[in-house]
Amino acid sequence: ILIKEVEKELKTQLDKITTKRIIKKSLRQKKVIKVKDLKEAVKLANQMAPEHLELQVKNPRQYLNQLENYGSLFLGEYSAVVFGDYCSGTNHVLPTNKNARFTGGLSVKDFLKVLTYQQINKKGAKKLAKTAEEFALLEGLDAHKKSARIRKTK
């Protein structure tokens, strides 16, 4: 029933929009997926990792701890994507193509450069060499294996 009502409302709203032609073209790409319950919907949302995710349900906050993969989450009927796009304060540079599985919206952290270094002494090299040789052997990287071995016997 809900799917039919949404489809009907979509048609009604489409007739009122000046960009109808563009939206119709975009809607050719849409998919309607019927789920048995909200638990399945949450699981599907996490798999899809959408750029925008709207929870148009009663008590949407109860699902916060279950949702892990989204660019920006909109809770409840008044939290429309348009507000996130233009003025509610959340960042609008969001991950697409399921990239929300491993990152969220752009933040100041994205402009920080993280540099790492390591310095291993002779004792440490001897201790690490066996493990490094085993991994190198598994990966078929003979030069890596020899590099570890040389440092073990040096």
**Catalytic residue ranges:** 51-52
100 contacts 50 by C-beta, under 8 angstroms? yes
Round the CA-based radius of gyration of the chain to a whole number and report it.
25
Report residue 16 as tokens: 């009122």
Crossing angle of helices 122-139/142-153, nearest 10°? 160
Residue 78's contacts (CB-CB under 8 Å, 6 or more residues apart) are none
Task: For 123, list phi and psi in degrees, rounded to 5.
Answer: -65, -45
Whole-angstrom Cα distance, residue 73 to residue 93? 13
